[in-house]
Chains A and B, each alone.
Chain A
């Protein structure tokens, strides 16, 4: 167990906790697939950031992706609101595929300036996280990946502290929220911004698709057994930490892709939990709540 192992362990845990935390909001709003949209539609923003900064830049990529996330959320609202024929699902499918195609077109035309490896962007790898180097903070050498994660956790945590009540009100009772002067649309945008920030810092670790597992599976577990916001959040966090530890252990022992083993552990444990949840139970025992 050397320093690189610890770096990978802590960045995986932080990433899983952050994703599952925001995932609870998405799960309760029935918007689990929003992460899929945000992670795929970030591609044009990433390409532009690569072209502008002539290579990789953490801030450039985050800003580009956040702008794309914002545009996608607006586009989804617009496409499905103007008339009744385009359902929300459909407008999500249209937006993320078209943004992704736009990203591919941009790569095709600016390929010589961007040097993006599309496979790398799609998969990500936890193993490489220690190679991002160290940053000197007040005399201590801290791995850059951990520092970025901690900054994002700080930003997300600070904004959630401020917005939690309003987010809940807007999610569960839009009319009441509007009467209290909270705009449900604005809250949707805040949540989308937080998610895109988290997706950006996570997808370089676990890839564009597996980040969806991190966002959706632990909250779904919490939803099965939890009976309040607090218990759901707690269960999701414990589930995320247990499966991350399990996945990392399996991945290390067998040398498999670490993000993959974590997500497979999440899927396997969730399916097991769901089977147990579905078992017929004796009369008088309430399920979940």
Chain B
């Protein structure tokens, strides 16, 4: 079935894509400013605004008065929010909640007044809450396209100021990048876009249009310009697919279909992006494995140093376990074996035998631990009984160069507890 066969569905799809692109541009900025929930608040203010417009137009549905009323109400909601949020006793979150529910309450009350005088004209005023993408007409598409051009031009012209403002508000203020004019024009654009997004997708789903695509893009890129481009691309693709889905399957409401597709794109990014869940999960697991392996190497060194080393140089897991900290001691033998795969020549149920590299690495770990303890006590003025915990963490992070520099700072043969600092292992010498 060709979804573009009927002009009505064609305009619905095209209009949704345009609104979504506008929302993605503005949303990228709001997400960076940590104002993701602001659109939710402004969107709820559209409701009393539309009803105000209805009353103003003499109890008639008039797009122009709806638009005007919505802008007034959004400005009022934003004014309440900023006035309250500036006071630390109220705070951002409570100010958002108060402005959102308060403005919506005004709408609910006015709607019930209108419904008392039922004339039929008010029917569907509250469809603004769930959106009506199917009603997007050719004129709407022109309006949305013009809006996209204006927003894109605004972002292009003020890209430096917006970038500075998004990442460092204080700096933007001091350097004059955050001017009164810029703020007013930006939030005027936000208000207009929120109105059209609410009209197309409904209150709740409009706020999704502003956050989902930018957040998905944010997981892939690190530059402001790249974020803007990618989030617009994501929004266009996701909205195109979602709106077409709803055009093909008439049971499916357009807003819900678009948000579902955008959410799936976000979730995929969240799992697979370079900064995503799997990457950080793998990194954390690798770090845990490395730390456990190095702690086992140190327990080996204890037996080596105290001349309690078994004849065949095989340290049993139970012996090693007693030297480990509380967080590692409960782990099972297979975790121990895995963590030593790089350093052990031989490991089975009984114990492990280190390779030459493993032994050298054990020596250098203990050496770094004790060097760091000496440094903390001698140079930083720590008390000797407070340095062990810190050294337990830092020993895993010290590299060759830092080790060399610490060694040249501290001139001592023993650590603060009187134990000898082993010399740096030479390649091929044990």
Which residue in chain A gives the minimum CB-CB distance to B281? A82
Binary B-proximity of A24-60 (CB < 8 A = 1, otherwise 0): 0001001111011000100000000000000000000
A31–B91 Cα distance when bound, in Å, is 10
Q: What residues of A have a CB within 8 angstroms of the CB of B295 in the complex?
A: none
Q: What residues of A have a CB within 8 angstroms of the CB of B87 in the complex?
A: 274, 277-278
- Asked if B275 and A30 sit within 8 Å, CB to CB, the answer is no
Contact of A264 among B80, B102, B204 (CB under 8 A): B102
A82–B279 Cα distance when bound, in Å, is 10
Is there a chain B Cβ closer than 8 Å to A239's Cβ? no
Is there a chain A Cβ closer than 8 Å to B277's Cβ? yes
Contact of B277 among A83, A87, A111, A223 (CB under 8 A): A83
Binary B-proximity of A89-113 (CB < 8 A = 1, otherwise 0): 1101110111011101100110100
Q: Which B residues are within 8 Å of any A CB, using their own CB?
A: 31, 34-37, 39-40, 44, 80, 83-84, 87, 89-91, 93-94, 96-98, 100-102, 104-109, 111-113, 116, 126, 129-130, 204-205, 207-208, 211-212, 215, 218-219, 251-253, 255-257, 259-260, 263, 266, 270, 275-277, 280-281
Among listed A65-73, A153-161, A193-201, A251-259, interface-contacting one: A251-259
Among listed A118-126, A136-144, A167-175, A181-189, interface-contacting one: A118-126
- Asked if A217 and B98 sit within 8 Å, CB to CB, the answer is yes
- Asked if B37 and A92 sit within 8 Å, CB to CB, the answer is yes
- Asked if A215 and B257 sit within 8 Å, CB to CB, the answer is no
- Asked if B108 and A216 sit within 8 Å, CB to CB, the answer is no
Q: What residues of B have a CB within 8 angstroms of the CB of A63 in the complex?
A: none
Within 8 A of B (CB), among A195-249: 207, 209-213, 215-217, 219-220, 223-224
Q: What residues of B have a CB within 8 angstroms of the CB of A122 in the complex?
A: 126, 129
Which residue in chain B gives the minimum CB-CB distance to A34? B93
A-B contact pairs, 11 of them (CB 8 A): A90-B215, A98-B208, A210-B104, A217-B98, A223-B94, A224-B89, A260-B105, A263-B101, A263-B105, A266-B105, A267-B98
Given pairs A90-B215, A213-B105, A277-B87, 20 additional interface contacts (CB within 8 A): A27-B94, A32-B98, A33-B97, A89-B35, A90-B36, A90-B211, A93-B37, A93-B207, A94-B212, A101-B263, A102-B260, A119-B126, A209-B44, A209-B100, A209-B108, A215-B97, A254-B113, A256-B109, A261-B109, A264-B109
- Asked if A85 and B97 sit within 8 Å, CB to CB, the answer is no
- Asked if B97 and A266 sit within 8 Å, CB to CB, the answer is no
Contact of B215 among A86, A96, A108, A255 (CB under 8 A): A86
A114–B342 Cα distance when bound, in Å, is 59
B57 to chain A, nearest CB (A): 21
- Asked if A209 and B208 sit within 8 Å, CB to CB, the answer is no
Is there a chain B Cβ closer than 8 Å to A180's Cβ? no
B99 to chain A, nearest CB (A): 9
- Asked if A260 and B108 sit within 8 Å, CB to CB, the answer is yes
Q: What residues of A have a CB within 8 angstroms of the CB of B116 in the complex?
A: 255
Is there a chain B Cβ closer than 8 Å to A147's Cβ? no
A277–B253 Cα distance when bound, in Å, is 46
With A97-B207, A215-B97, A256-B113 as given contacts, are A36 and B34 in contact (CB-CB < 8 Å)? no
Q: Which A residues are within 8 Å of any B CB, using their own CB?
A: 27, 30-33, 35-36, 40, 79, 82-87, 89-90, 92-94, 96-98, 100-102, 104-105, 108-109, 111, 118-119, 122-123, 207, 209-213, 215-217, 219-220, 223-224, 254-257, 259-264, 266-267, 270-271, 274, 277-278, 288
- Asked if A32 and B102 sit within 8 Å, CB to CB, the answer is no
With A32-B97, A210-B108, A212-B100 as given contacts, are A85 and B37 in contact (CB-CB < 8 Å)? no
Q: What residues of A have a CB within 8 angstroms of the CB of B91 in the complex?
A: 30, 32
B252 to chain A, nearest CB (A): 5
With A274-B84, A274-B90 as given contacts, are A97 and B211 in contact (CB-CB < 8 Å)? yes
A173 to chain B, nearest CB (A): 19
With A27-B94, A94-B215 as given contacts, are A210 and B105 in contact (CB-CB < 8 Å)? yes
A216–B96 Cα distance when bound, in Å, is 10
B88 to chain A, nearest CB (A): 10
- Asked if A267 and B102 sit within 8 Å, CB to CB, the answer is yes
B45 to chain A, nearest CB (A): 11
Q: What residues of B have a CB within 8 angstroms of the CB of A257 in the complex?
A: 108-109, 111-112
Identify the 8 closest CB pairs spanning chains A and B, nearest first. Answer: A263-B105, A267-B102, A97-B208, A213-B101, A260-B108, A257-B112, A260-B109, A104-B256
A95 to chain B, nearest CB (A): 10
With A82-B277, A224-B89 as given contacts, are A212 and B260 in contact (CB-CB < 8 Å)? no
A27–B281 Cα distance when bound, in Å, is 33
A98 to chain B, nearest CB (A): 4
Contact of A92 among B36, B39, B253, B263 (CB under 8 A): B36
A255–B93 Cα distance when bound, in Å, is 33
A213–B98 Cα distance when bound, in Å, is 6
Which residue in chain B gives the minimum CB-CB distance to A268? B102
A163–B215 Cα distance when bound, in Å, is 36
A220 to chain B, nearest CB (A): 5
- Asked if A267 and B280 sit within 8 Å, CB to CB, the answer is no
Which residue in chain A gives the minimum CB-CB distance to B212? A94
- Asked if B36 and A93 sit within 8 Å, CB to CB, the answer is yes
Q: What residues of B have a CB within 8 angstroms of the CB of A288 in the complex?
A: 89
Which residue in chain A gives the minimum CB-CB distance to B250? A108
- Asked if B97 and A36 sit within 8 Å, CB to CB, the answer is yes
A123–B125 Cα distance when bound, in Å, is 13
